[in-house]
Amino acid sequence: MSHSQKFKSILLFGPPGAGKGTQGKILDAIPGFFHMSVGDVFRSIDADSDEGQEIRKYTSVGQLVPDSVTIQIWNNALNDFIASSKYNPDEDILLLDGMPRNVAQTELIADHVEVAKIINLDCSDEDEMVKRIQQRAIKENRSDDADENIIRQRFEVYRQQTRPVLDQYSADTIAIAQAVGTPAEVLGRILEIAIPIQNEHVLQNN
């Protein structure tokens, strides 16, 4: 990582279909927030490249991409965002979506990321989230989201590998935002949590 400081971050957390990407994209349009979806970074890589084929080997069956590959791609993408001035760590809160996805990754990013808050998008209705994912697959032409068996496998991976990430952080770092409701309603809940963190970041850097 070329930047010497830790990146002040909010983790957008929750099961598949909870709305992390939707909310991250909305927040990204607000000055002072930068949304980075690891899934979007993966999908932006040429599918015919060696890296793209390696990623596809895992995502096509609902498995997590190996940690070493994930961290390297994330690291390179973040440095590219800084170099292109899309992300300014001194001004922007980094909204991390899809990272860390397991306990090992919490340790791998610890030297680079200061987790100010984890916003856990809570939606207990798995069937509803499966429907959301399938609808998204149609809208965004995402073949990995179309097969219900693969979707259910992703939920199982979430329960076994990603959900335990929350246990690595103190309880006061975690805030729950109900993910049920319109995107605007969910956004309002997230902003109540995120705005004070953004204000603090601005004060620290002025």
What are 70-109's pLDDT values in tens digits?
Answer: 888 898 899 999 999 999 999 999 999 989 989 999 999 9
What is the span of the domain harbouring residue 119?
A: 7-204
The answer to the question of residue 186 being in a domain is: yes
CATH value at residue 72: 3.40.50.300
Count Cα neighbours of 4 within 13 Å in the Cβ-side half-sphere: 0
* 163 — pLDDT class (breaks 50, 70, 90): very high
The answer to the question of residue 1 being in a domain is: no
The answer to the question of residue 20 being in a domain is: yes
User: For residue 187, which phi and psi values (nearest 5 degrees)?
Assistant: -60, -45
Alpha-carbon distance of 165 to 125, in angstroms, equals 21
The answer to the question of residue 110 being in a domain is: yes
Query: Quick one: which of 81, 94, 77, 98 has its CA closest to 32?
Result: 94
Average pLDDT over residues 33-43: 90
H or E stretch at 12: strand 7-13
The answer to the question of residue 2 being in a domain is: no
pLDDT value at residue 1: 44
pLDDT value at residue 51: 84
What confidence tens digit (pLDDT) does each residue in 180-201 have? Answer: 888 999 999 999 999 999 998 8
Structure tokens at 151: 């979707």
Q: Is the peptide bond before 31 cis (omega within 30 degrees of 0)?
A: no
102 or 61: which leads in pLDDT: 102
The answer to the question of residue 68 being in a domain is: yes
Given a contact cutoff of 8 angstroms between Cβ atoms, the answer to whether 191 and 33 are in contact is no
pTM higher than 0.95, yes or no?
A: no
Per the structure, how many domains does the chain have? 1
Average pLDDT over residues 107-132: 87
The answer to the question of residue 131 being in a domain is: yes
Given a contact cutoff of 8 angstroms between Cβ atoms, the answer to whether 203 and 90 are in contact is no
